[in-house]
Amino acid sequence: MKNLYFLFLSLLFFSCSSTVDSTNNQVPEDPKLTYLALGDSYTIGESVMETERWPVQLAEQLRDRGYKMAAPKIIAKTGWTTEDLLRGMENELNIQRDFDLVSILIGVNNQYQGKLISEYEEDLRTIFRKAVNHSKTMEKGVFAVSIPDYGYTPFGSANQEEVSAEIDKFNEVFRRVADEFEVPFYNITPISREAKENPELVASDGLHPNELMYQLWVDQIVNQVAEKLP
């Protein structure tokens, strides 16, 4: 049974998603503000509808506040490590600064695949440099969102202590690199740990957040993100 558990968990982490421009019916006809979301399954919204992804929810909440946000451009796939994200950025982006907001959430698959944390740190610095380069206001337009803790989900619970300890170590590196680039680091990991007591925050796959948890993330960060916009 344990081998079957890890096989199924692997399939969930490595299932296919796509790099997309997310759209919904609320995008204004003349959007002025652009948003680039960089990441993995959490950013592409594995197991939730397109409108329920947290970058899409964030853009919608900003529109409710009067900001004319375009649909987010999302560069993310389920299973991506930092190395994969760098390749995706290379393939999808030009060199000019063309986004009002850029978010970074990456690292869970580095941890899950047993990648060296030193490699994660090196890749992360490159991702931050590129993110700043694609921000119209450089570091002022960039923000980082911490890695959620899947140890508190049904499929991670068997190894919760080990997973949580490793996620904390990766987040320590993530926060330190964000500080080096003078980019705010928004810690949503405590919200992800509420899933143990509140299973209604977990998607049907038993691993990823659902739209309710993503909404909690957005509720926590939207005021600070709005301050980054003109």
Over residues 76-134, the pLDDT tens digits come to 999 999 999 999 999 999 866 799 999 999 999 999 999 999 999 999 999 999 999 99
Q: Does position 13 have pLDDT exceeding 80, yes or no?
A: no
Work out the percent of the chain whose per-residue pLDDT is above 70.
Answer: 87
Per-residue pLDDT at 204: 96
CA 40 to chain centre: 6
- What letter does residue 179 receive in the DSSP assignment? H
- pTM listed for this prediction: 0.90
Name the CATH superfamily housing domain 2-226: SGNH hydrolase (3.40.50.1110)
Q: pLDDT tens digit string along 42-71?
A: 999 999 999 999 999 999 999 999 999 999
Is the Cβ–Cβ distance between 164 and 151 less than 8 Å? Answer: yes
58/186 Cα distance (integer angstroms)? 14
Q: 31 pLDDT band (50/70/90 cuts)?
A: confident
13/17 Cα distance (integer angstroms)? 10
Give the three-class secondary structure for 116.
coil
Domain definitions of the chain by residue range: 2-226
Q: Give the chain's end-to-end CA distance (angstroms, integer).
A: 54
Give the three-class secondary structure for 135.
strand
Per-residue pLDDT at 1: 37
